[in-house]
């Protein structure tokens, strides 16, 4: 794990932002990423647990607001959210880590393999930020990255629509090599894929591999991932339009 | 910067001073919560899981400072009385703990789950367990334990956990008649199906599902493992490892490392004696070559040792190794065994002080050959001949407890090594020359071990802590981190295996020719013996008029292969059972019928065996060959076929379900045969003494890795002495205290150490009878019988064992009644098994889902059917990982790219296939109460059964492991043209 040289637990957002303005300080959510990092590097941890950002609430207009320090386990349990997203939260981490891992940490990590991030992408998720950067869509955050000094405080999700998932992994609970998550609403389908870019991406359901340049690895070559992108997208479409 | 952190620990406030980087796991252990164990830094093993504000969470990834103000619960919270909590009792009752390394996490997870869901579904239970990786049980019995705990907590009555006893389907020798069997017996999959043999008498303790003798300590999370004691003044060690696959060390500058505050020693080739050795934990004399030294001026794989530091804190030791400046001359490397013997391949060992390398210029460590009959002639003349090549890959044992050792000089200045080892006596002997001490001045203590699976059949790190303890004169502890465990410990040997087989028109084998290129990595260690076992297993299962084995064992620069449960057999049996399957299909024969025609049967000679082995007779024909004396394979096949509904292979509506057009289903079978101990070599000792109250202390050198060996051996002694198991107090193992034992490997413990216990108990029994005869005034002690803690005369009068003990220890003609015995066997009775697999193949993506595994195994008499079935369940799932998803992946420079769980995928609880175990009894007269081995055979048949099931489903044969989606997809694409 990294060598944490100092620990801070701010109690207000302003205090947190002030602490995070220094480059050696890193926001600490649940710790499942930061504390598991095997590359030793000195840093100071800014623990966000006392900021009151863990609520999941009805945000009106049919939207659900998930606080940044809400755990994946809280998402899994939340009845405001559709079963499909709750299941993705369950699949994202095993039982002993999802009780710690936070939604804010997940979003900040922008993992290419995160099925829950793909789900959030398909659900028109917007990201609330404190600090210099304005709120933005999840897709915009993926494109621009999280600017220094900014802090994810919540995400807002549109839970509506019918959904379907298809994925391929080595075993049933493996992190998928490629996965597709589709959300159908009012004749439109938002299709998000994992495992085909540096972060989950929204694709054109009619040409799902267009513009994709996946990096191959030992679990799946570039060609194989492109094949899966097409196959799994087609499966999701078939389920959405039986 | 130290600060005080306060949280609620098990209901009371606790304050601990921590550094900012300290994890909650570290803090809890400092507070004496020894149930919280290290499994990895990233928390996915769950060995350090606790309840954090009531929810199961891995304390590895929680900063201790983050826990300030929170509520923390460990399993110690339940330990308020000598009795177990009902949840702990449930786990014990069904045999859910093997090593028990993650016992606390499982119990806590159950408490949290039941608090929320008093009647949880199996899916909920498996989801709760998804964060606790268990390399031992296949989660079968832990799931059952949670169900049982839930029932108890709801106030329901539960039945004692016991096997389901079944009627045999065969006469024991011939195949089941058509239509035999009827319905599949119904029982939870955790319940072993037991098919008794009429030859086996009913016994009081043997054959019964006794609770493990170590159950309480495991369930309570009591300090039992290597890391659970901390000698005063202990230093922490860290190893600097090579970043290069092959390099010469031109210089080492350790001055900055030594200057780090708190550092006491830095060792490397420049200040450590160069003593050659082989690290494999094997009997004296270790097979050559002795190609290792504690620290070398050459590194031969990424992760090889370069130096080690000892310091007051682990952080200081880590800082020290970071500051060691090493100048390398990077050398070319070779990784693939198929190219290692090429003339231009880099030479892995060109030093002049390693002898007994067969041909160092070709990286050829050993050339092994054995032959019977005219193989070439039979191949040339046979009406049918077949040749196939198979490639098997490199995987790691993955014990959740990594290697850990600590060493110190005791008050007599003897070296004490407390270590997680499967081979304490070998370790003592092998360590002595390296540290220039005599064997008599070394004591090796094997505490509880958190799994080994062969990785700990190695003198791996004990020399490092011993060297550092000598230099610093302080206790020194070294624990490998998870990445080091992957690339710095031991793995399974990759091999390239080629079979050529000649077959007569009627399906009779005429010749089998097996050639292996075995990859032993940069060091010989187990390279010789593993390949021998491959030959033994690969050429013994089937009878043939002629057989030939040729093996080239080569050096490469991959992480070091060593012993891994199965020890060469899984590789060989994958190739063999795949090859036989394909021959049957090519000849249009039923695979089971074809194999049955040729498989070895009772009375058949195991004719290649004497020509292979550490003490083999290589060339000359023998007058007599060892024979199979017991086999329950026909019953195993019959039970397994019924369980998987084998006839579905012919049901197209099942194989290609109409509602899932991308899915093809298939069933596969593999015939399995293993060995039981190494004849004339494996030796175990046992000592038993009587106590005042009629109980017994039993000292054994055998090494229980979580297998239940202590329990099983205790049951054997209890049966002989006529007492319940609880009256046998088992202690293992400590080289100062217990008799010699070669260690836990080669499926030897029950058979060898168990027989030693049987004989020691018989010696004690004779004295008990003699003393009873005195007390009862009986002339003939042989008429006395021991049962129910009493000695009975023929006329029904009796005395208690306590009365005998008090009389013999305190009253008349005093003596310590005790017995000591040892055992070595000339025999190696094979267990047999029928392995079945059911799969679904997604033909569009190549994803294989294994939906069911069934193993019906003849292990002779299962001394404890619950622990035996646990061995089979756990072994099958390890084997499934080998077949399906586990692989060590190296980049072009030899660096492992996936040295953590997740990228290195092992099965977790919420993705398991159904797993059913049948125990088919036979009476093996050479074993204690009829027992043969059971620990390793579950590793042998899964890969070929899955492979053959994929073949059945798709018509595509895949000859490389593992069956990852892209490999299967590519094979399907190729077959489709």
Write down which residue in A157, A179, A213 finishes a domain: A157
Write down which residue in B50, B78, B106 finishes a domain: B78
Residues A144-201 pLDDT 10s: 999 888 999 999 999 999 999 999 999 999 999 999 999 999 889 999 999 999 999 9
Asked whether residue A74 falls in the same domain as residue A61, the answer is yes
Higher pLDDT, A134 or B678: A134
Asked whether residue A22 falls in the same domain as residue A101, the answer is no
Residues A96-144 pLDDT 10s: 999 999 999 999 999 999 999 999 999 999 999 999 999 999 999 999 9
| Maximum alpha-carbon separation in chain A | 56
Asked whether residue A122 falls in the same domain as residue A168, the answer is no
- Read off the pLDDT band of B705 (50, 70, 90): confident
Selection from B812, B808, B920, B798 nearest residue B857 by Cα: B920
Closest chain B residue by Cα to residue A44: B20
Which are the contacts of B202, defined by CB distance < 8 A and separation ≥ 6?
A: none
B969 and A227: CB-CB below 8 Å?
Answer: yes
- Coil, strand, or helix at residue B824? strand
The torsion angles phi and psi of B365, rounded to 5 degrees, stand at: -80, -50
Asked whether residue A66 falls in the same domain as residue A153, the answer is yes
- Coil, strand, or helix at residue B5? strand
Nearest CA-CA distance, residue B5 and chain A, Å: 12
Answer yes or no: is pLDDT of A8 > 60: yes
Output the DSSP codes for chain A.
Answer: --EEEEEE--SSHHHHHHHHTSTTEEEESSSTTTTT--S--EEEEEE-GGG----EEEEETTEEEEETT-BHHHHHH-TTS-HHHHHHHHHHS-HHHHTT-BHHHHHHHT-TT-HHHHHHHHTT-EEEEESSSPPEEHHHHHHH-PPTT-EEEEEEE---SEEEEEEE-SSTTSPPSEEEEEEEETTEEEEEEESSSSS-EEE-TTSTTTT--PPPBTTB-HHHHHHHHHHHHHHHHHHH--
B20–chain A Cβ distance below 8 A for any pair: yes
B847: chain A residues, CB-CB within 8 Å: 168-170
Write down which residue in A157, A187, A212 finishes a domain: A157
- pTM given for the model: 0.97
Residues A13-37 pLDDT 10s: 999 999 999 999 999 998 888 776 6
Asked whether residue A17 falls in the same domain as residue A72, the answer is no
Asked whether residue A121 falls in the same domain as residue A206, the answer is no
Across the range B701-721, mean pLDDT stands at 94
- Name the A residues in 89-128 with CB < 8 Å from any B CB: 90, 93-100
SS3 per-residue string spanning B371-407? EECCHHHHHHHCCEEEEEEEEECCCECCCCCCCEEEE
Asked whether residue A146 falls in the same domain as residue A114, the answer is yes
Higher pLDDT, A186 or B4: B4
Asked whether residue A231 falls in the same domain as residue A206, the answer is yes
Which of A91, A170, A173, A178 to mutate against chain B (most B CBs within 10 Å)?
A170
A96 and B41: CB-CB below 8 Å?
Answer: no
- Read off the pLDDT band of B341 (50, 70, 90): very high
Which of B52, B58, B961 to mutate against chain A (most A CBs within 10 Å)?
B58
**Neighbour-count burial of B257, counting CB atoms closer than 10 A to its CB (0-12 exposed, 13-18 middle, 19+ buried):** buried
B849–chain A Cβ distance below 8 A for any pair: yes
User: Which value, in Å, is the radius of gyration of the alpha carbons in chain A?
Assistant: 18
- Read off the pLDDT band of B616 (50, 70, 90): low
Which of A96, A175, A225 to mutate against chain B (most B CBs within 10 Å)?
A96
Across the range B829-849, mean pLDDT stands at 98
Write down which residue in B462, B487, B512 finishes a domain: B487
Using CB atoms, pick whichever of A31, A38, A73 lies closest to residue B66: A31
B842 and A168: CB-CB below 8 Å?
Answer: yes
Which are the contacts of B123, defined by CB distance < 8 A and separation ≥ 6?
A: B910
Residue positions counted in chain B: 977
CATH number at residue B63: 3.10.20.30
Residues A27-66 pLDDT 10s: 999 888 877 666 667 899 999 999 999 999 999 999 999 9
Using CB atoms, pick whichever of B20, B52, B847 lies closest to residue A6: B20
Check residue B178 and give its pLDDT. 79
Which of B4, B21, B320 to mutate against chain A (most A CBs within 10 Å)?
B21
CB B832 within 8 A of CB B635: no
Nearest CA-CA distance, residue B876 and chain A, Å: 15
Write down which residue in B44, B78, B112 finishes a domain: B78
Quote the CA–CA distance of B744 and B424 in Å, as a whole number: 10
Helix extents (H) in B668-727 = 709-721
CATH number at residue A205: 3.30.390.50
CB B525 within 8 A of CB B458: yes
Counting the structural domains of chain A, the total is: 3
| Element housing B600 (H / E) | none
CATH number at residue A97: 3.30.465.10
Tokens of residue A132, six digits: 């210099």
Answer yes or no: is pLDDT of B199 > 60: yes
B223 to each of A151, B35, B37, B418, B448, how far by Cα in Å? 43, 7, 10, 14, 9
Nearest CA-CA distance, residue B251 and chain A, Å: 25
B22, part of any domain: yes
Closest chain A residue by Cα to residue B129: A95
Write down which residue in A21, A36, A51 finishes a domain: A51
B502, part of any domain: no
Say how many C-beta atoms besides its own lie within 10 A of residue B827's C-beta.
18
- Name the A residues in 4-33 with CB < 8 Å from any B CB: 4-7, 9, 28, 30-32
Quote the CA–CA distance of B269 and B296 in Å, as a whole number: 5
Say how many C-beta atoms besides its own lie within 10 A of residue B276's C-beta.
16
CATH number at residue A27: 3.30.43
Across the range B489-500, mean pLDDT stands at 98
Check residue A140 and give its pLDDT. 96
B171, part of any domain: no
Residue positions counted in chain A: 242
B539, part of any domain: no
B796, part of any domain: yes
Asked whether residue A122 falls in the same domain as residue A137, the answer is yes
Q: Give the structural domain span for B37.
A: 3-78
- Name the A residues in 28-87 with CB < 8 Å from any B CB: 28, 30-32, 35-36, 38, 40, 44-45, 47, 49, 73
Q: Name the one residue in this structure whose structure tokens are 């999370």.
A: B221
Using CB atoms, pick whichever of A31, A38, A168 lies closest to residue B63: A31
Answer yes or no: is pLDDT of A1 > 60: no
CB B573 within 8 A of CB B360: no
B521, part of any domain: no
Tokens of residue B726, six digits: 């609880």
CATH number at residue B762: 3.30.365.10
Counting the structural domains of chain B, the total is: 3
Asked whether residue A180 falls in the same domain as residue A231, the answer is yes
Which residues make beta-bridge pairs with B39?
A: none
B57–chain A Cβ distance below 8 A for any pair: yes
Residues B6-33 pLDDT 10s: 999 999 999 999 999 999 999 999 999 9
Check residue B894 and give its pLDDT. 98
Asked whether residue A107 falls in the same domain as residue A188, the answer is no
| Maximum alpha-carbon separation in chain B | 89
B62: chain A residues, CB-CB within 8 Å: 31, 35, 100
Residues B939-953 pLDDT 10s: 999 999 999 999 999
A96 and B20: CB-CB below 8 Å?
Answer: no
| ipTM value | 0.97
What value does the mean pLDDT of chain B take?
Answer: 96
Answer yes or no: is pLDDT of B619 > 80: no
A54: chain B residues, CB-CB within 8 Å: none
Q: Give the structural domain span for A105.
A: 56-157
* pLDDT above 70 coverage of chain B, percent: 99
Nearest CA-CA distance, residue B128 and chain A, Å: 6
Asked whether residue A18 falls in the same domain as residue A92, the answer is no
- Coil, strand, or helix at residue B860? strand
Nearest CA-CA distance, residue B682 and chain A, Å: 39
Answer yes or no: is pLDDT of B289 > 70: yes
């Amino acid at each position: 794990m990294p060598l944490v040289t100092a620990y801070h637990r701010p109690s207000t957002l302003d205090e947190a932002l002030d602490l995070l303005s220094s480059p050696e300080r890193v926001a600490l959510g649940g710790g499942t990423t930061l504390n598991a990092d095997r590359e030793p590097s000195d840093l100071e941890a800014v623990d966000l647990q006392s900021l009151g950002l863990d609520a999941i609430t009805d945000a009106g207009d049919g939207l659900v607001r998930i606080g940044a320090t809400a755990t994946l386990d809280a998402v899994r349990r939340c009845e405001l959210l559709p079963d499909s997203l709750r299941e993705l939260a369950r699949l994202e981490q095993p039982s002993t880590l999802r009780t710690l891992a936070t939604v804010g940490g997940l979003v900040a990590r922008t993992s290419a393999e995160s099925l829950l991030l793909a789900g959030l992408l398909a659900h028109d998720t917007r990201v609330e930020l404190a600090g210099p950067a304005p709120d933005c869509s999840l897709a915009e955050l993926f494109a621009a990255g999280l600017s220094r000094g900014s802090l994810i405080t919540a995400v807002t999700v549109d839970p509506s629509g019918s959904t379907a998932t298809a994925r391929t992994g080595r075993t049933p609970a493996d992190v998928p090599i490629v996965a597709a998550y589709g959300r159908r609403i009012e004749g439109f389908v938002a299709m998000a894929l994992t495992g085909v870019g540096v972060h989950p991406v929204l694709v054109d359901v009619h040409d799902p591999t267009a513009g994709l340049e996946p990096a191959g690895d030992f679990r799946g070559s570039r060609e194989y991932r492109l094949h899966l992108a097409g196959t799994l997208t087609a499966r999701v479409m078939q389920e959405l339009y039986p | 910067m130290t600060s005080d952190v306060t949280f609620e620990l098990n209901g009371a406030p606790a304050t601990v001073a921590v550094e900012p980087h300290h994890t909650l796991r570290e803090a809890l252990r400092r507070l004496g919560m020894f149930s919280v164990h290290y499994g990895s830094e990233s928390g996915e093993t769950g060995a350090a899981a606790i309840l954090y504000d009531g929810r199961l969470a891995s304390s590895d990834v929680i900063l201790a400072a983050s826990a300030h103000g929170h509520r923390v619960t460990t399993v110690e919270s339940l330990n308020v009385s000598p009795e177990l909590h009902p949840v702990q009792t449930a786990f014990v009752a069904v045999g859910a703990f093997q090593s028990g390394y993650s016992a606390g996490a499982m119990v806590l997870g159950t408490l949290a789950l039941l608090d929320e869901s008093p009647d949880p579904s199996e899916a909920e239970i498996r989801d709760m367990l998804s964060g606790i990786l268990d390399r031992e049980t296949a989660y079968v019995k832990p799931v059952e334990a949670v169900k049982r705990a839930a029932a108890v907590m709801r106030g329901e009555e539960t039945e004692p956990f016991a096997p389901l006893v079944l009627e045999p389907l065969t006469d024991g020798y011939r195949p089941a008649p058509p239509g035999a069997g009827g319905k599949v017996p119904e029982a939870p999959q955790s319940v072993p199906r037991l098919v008794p043999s009429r030859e086996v008498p009913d016994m009081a303790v043997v054959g019964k599902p006794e609770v493990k003798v170590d159950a309480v300590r495991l369930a309570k999370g009591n300090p039992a493992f290597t890391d659970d004691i901390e000698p005063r003044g202990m230093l922490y060690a860290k190893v600097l490892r090579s970043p290069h696959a092959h390099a010469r060390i031109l210089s080492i500058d350790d001055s900055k490392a030594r200057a780090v505050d708190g550092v006491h020693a830095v060792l490397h080739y420049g200040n450590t004696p160069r003593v050659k050795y082989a690290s494999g934990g094997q009997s004296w004399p270790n097979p050559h070559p002795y190609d290792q030294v504690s620290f070398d001026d050459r590194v031969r794989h990424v992760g090889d040792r370069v130096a080690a530091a000892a310091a007051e804190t682990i952080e200081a030791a880590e800082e020290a190794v970071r500051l060691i400046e090493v100048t390398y001359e990077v050398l070319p490397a070779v990784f693939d065994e198929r190219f290692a013997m090429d003339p231009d391949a880099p030479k892995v060992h060109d030093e002049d002080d390693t002898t007994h390398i067969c041909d160092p210029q070709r990286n050829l460590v050993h050339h092994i050959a054995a032959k019977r009959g005219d193989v070439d002639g039979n191949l040339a003349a046979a009406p049918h001949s077949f040749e196939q090549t198979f490639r098997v890959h490199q995987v790691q044992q993955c014990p959740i407890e990594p290697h850990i050792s600590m060493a110190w000089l005791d008050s007599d200045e003897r070296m004490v090594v407390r270590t997680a080892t499967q081979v304490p006596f070998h370790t003592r002997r092998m360590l002595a020359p390296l540290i220039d001490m005599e064997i008599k001045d070394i004591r090796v203590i094997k505490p509880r071990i958190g799994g080994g699976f062969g990785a700990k059949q190695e003198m791996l790190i004990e020399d490092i802590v011993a060297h550092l303890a000598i230099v610093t004169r302080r206790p020194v502890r070294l624990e490998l981190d998870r990445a080091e465990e992957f690339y710095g410990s031991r793995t399974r040997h990759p091999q390239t295996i080629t079979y050529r087989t000649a077959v007569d028109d009627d399906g009779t084998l005429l010749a089998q020719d097996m050639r292996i290129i075995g990859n032993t990595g940069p060091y010989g260690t187990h390279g010789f013996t593993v390949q021998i076992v491959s030959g033994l297993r690969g050429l013994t299962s089937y009878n043939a008029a002629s057989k030939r084995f040729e093996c080239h064992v080569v050096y490469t620069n991959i992480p070091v292969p060593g012993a891994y449960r199965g020890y060469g057999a899984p590789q060989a049996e994958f190739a063999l059972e795949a090859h036989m399957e394909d021959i049957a299909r090519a000849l249009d024969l039923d695979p089971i019928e074809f194999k049955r025609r040729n498989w070895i049967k009772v009375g058949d000679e195991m004719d290649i065996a004497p020509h292979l082995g550490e003490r083999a007779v290589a060339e000359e024909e023998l007058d007599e060959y060892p024979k199979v004396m017991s086999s329950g394979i026909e019953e195993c096949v019959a039970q397994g076929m019924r369980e998987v509904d084998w006839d579905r292979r012919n049901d197209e509506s099942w194989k290609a379900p109409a509602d899932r057009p991308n899915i093809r289903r298939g069933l596969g079978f593999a015939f399995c045969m293993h060995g039981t101990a190494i004849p004339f070599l494996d030796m175990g000792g046992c000592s038993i003494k009587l106590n005042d109250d009629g109980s017994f202390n039993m000292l054994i050198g055998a090494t229980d890795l979580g297998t239940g060996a202590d329990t099983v051996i205790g049951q054997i002694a209890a049966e002989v002495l006529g007492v319940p198991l609880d009256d046998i107090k088992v202690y293992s193992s400590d080289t100062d205290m217990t008799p010699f034992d070669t260690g836990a490997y080669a499926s030897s413990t029950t058979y060898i150490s168990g027989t030693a216990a049987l004989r020691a108990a018989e010696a004690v029994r004779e004295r008990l009878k003699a003393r009873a005869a005195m007390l009862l005034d009986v002339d003939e002690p042989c008429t006395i019988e021991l049962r129910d803690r009493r000695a009975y005369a023929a006329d029904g009068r009796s005395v208690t064992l306590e009365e005998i003990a008090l009389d013999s220890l305190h009253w008349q003609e005093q003596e310590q009644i005790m017995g000591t015995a040892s055992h070595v066997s000339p025999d190696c009775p094979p267990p047999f098994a029928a392995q079945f697999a059911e799969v679904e193949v997604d033909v569009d993506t190549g994803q294989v889902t294994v939906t069911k595994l069934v193993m019906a195994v003849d292990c002779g008499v299962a001394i404890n059917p619950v622990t035996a079935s646990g061995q089979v369940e756990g072994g099958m799932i390890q084997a499934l990982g080998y077949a399906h998803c586990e692989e060590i992946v190296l980049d072009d420079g030899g660096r492992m790219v996936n040295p953590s769980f997740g990228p290195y995928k092992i099965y977790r609880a919420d993705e398991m296939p159904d797993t059913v175990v049948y125990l088919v009894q036979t009476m093996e007269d050479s074993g204690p109460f009829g027992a043969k081995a059971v620990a390793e055979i579950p590793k042998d048949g899964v890969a070929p059964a899955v492979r053959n099931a994929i073949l059945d489903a798709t018509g595509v044969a895949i000859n490389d492991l593992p069956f990852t989606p892209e490999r299967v997809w590519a094979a399907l694409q190729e077959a489709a043209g």
